[in-house]
Amino acid sequence: MVCTAITKKYLMKYSHNLQILIEMYKFVSQIFCLSINKKNIRMKLKFISLSLTLILASCAIVKTLNLYSIDDDKEMGRQMYAQIANAKSDFPLLDSARNVAAYAHINRIMNAILNSGVVAHRNDFDWTVKIIDSDVLNAFAVPGGKLYFYTGLIKYLDNEAQLAGVMAHEIAHVAARHSTQQMTKQLGSQYITSLILGENPNQYLAIAGQLANGLGGLAFSRTDEYEADALAVQYLSRTEYNPLGVAGFFEKIINETGSAEQSKLQTFMSTHPSSADRVRKIREAWVANGSKTGNDFKERYQQFKNSLPK
């Protein structure tokens, strides 16, 4: 089932990209075919290089194409947030009034990252973090700045820099607007318009479920994952945290082979780029951002864990 869904998704994605490339190529050919003198090799080379440049440019446009406005992101996020709040069996949220200390910890971490000075749409979105009381090794974000962390993940990590790393990664998906970018590519504008207009409101929960599938899960491409990792390193390099905390979760996964935790990670493993690749790229981003050491805040993190329900 999962494989079929993935294949279908990629077919849709690539057929869309391919169509644009074909159109670009036709356009370029139409302009230049009449003016090319077949004996003139320099001209031919110029034509080939211009075609390649345009094709590459169209790839860049396809990658970042987003048909939706900031307000669309916010509106979608607002509706998903409301539906998640009502879907208590799927998303058992930890009550913030009864868990003041735990929420103070997680809000402090979120605010430190948001105040790094380099988060896009810092003031456009209504940033909120919720804790889901479930033994799942996951976190996810919905458009417009709503972040969700499972108690399973919080308990699994060893220090605050690692949690800040996952948090920064999720904030990066929102700030780079990866959800609406992916929806633009995969679902098409009509589908989203029907959501915005409220013609198909139940689909919000389906999208939220997809986003919840493994630290961003199926909804994001590999490129999005690498970009979110690199942005996360950039954010943490401007906070008091150790920016290599971004790699912490993946380093732990690498060390889990054969352990009891491994089975909980299967969904994550099947939907994400290899952890070793990500750790390598995160280290490259760390060097590019000045190799800052920062702090892991291990003891403070233990207090956060102790504040969660047992």
Q: Which residue in the shown chain puts its C-beta closest to Zn ion?
A: 216
Tell me the closest approach of the beta carbon of residue 220 to Zn ion, in angstroms: 5
Binding of residue 143 to Zn ion (CB under 5 A)? no
Give the residue with the Cβ less far from Zn ion, 222 or 298.
222
Tell me the closest approach of the beta carbon of residue 166 to Zn ion, in angstroms: 9
Residues linked to residue 141 through DSSP beta bridges, in sequence order: 147
Give the residue with the Cβ less far from Zn ion, 160 or 225.
225
Contact status, residue 243 vs residue 222, Cβ threshold 8 Å: no
Contact status, residue 275 vs residue 250, Cβ threshold 8 Å: yes
Q: How far is CA 243 from CA 164, 214, 223, in A?
A: 9, 22, 20
By CB under 5 A, the residues from 226 to 245 that bind Zn ion are: 228
Closest to 224 (Cα-Cα) out of 277, 170, 270, 269: 170
Binding of residue 217 to Zn ion (CB under 5 A)? no
State the binding string over 258-277 for Zn ion (x if CB under 5 A, else -). Answer: --------------------
- Measured CA to CA, the distance from residue 155 to residue 310 in angstroms comes to 10
Give the residue with the Cβ less far from Zn ion, 53 or 223.
223
Contact status, residue 77 vs residue 203, Cβ threshold 8 Å: no
- Measured CA to CA, the distance from residue 135 to residue 195 in angstroms comes to 31
Tell me the closest approach of the beta carbon of residue 29 to Zn ion, in angstroms: 39
Number of residues that bind Zn ion (CB under 5 A): 3
SS3 66: coil
CB count within 10 Å of CB 250 equals 25
Closest to 175 (Cα-Cα) out of 228, 212, 218: 228
CB count within 10 Å of CB 120 equals 13
Which of these segments, 147-155, 216-224, 231-239, 302-310, binds Zn ion (CB under 5 A)? 216-224
Tell me the closest approach of the beta carbon of residue 139 to Zn ion, in angstroms: 9
Which of these segments, 47-55, 200-208, 223-231, 297-305, binds Zn ion (CB under 5 A)? 223-231
Tell me the closest approach of the beta carbon of residue 99 to Zn ion, in angstroms: 26
Which of these segments, 201-209, 214-222, 279-287, 297-305, binds Zn ion (CB under 5 A)? 214-222
Structure tokens at 61: 């446009």
State the binding string over 48-77 for Zn ion (x if CB under 5 A, else -). Answer: ------------------------------
Contact status, residue 120 vs residue 181, Cβ threshold 8 Å: no
Give the residue with the Cβ less far from Zn ion, 179 or 184.
179
Binding of residue 216 to Zn ion (CB under 5 A)? yes
Tell me the closest approach of the beta carbon of residue 11 to Zn ion, in angstroms: 22
Give the residue with the Cβ less far from Zn ion, 47 or 286.
286
Closest to 93 (Cα-Cα) out of 127, 134, 126, 128: 134
Q: Which residues bind Zn ion (CB under 5 A)?
A: 216, 225, 228
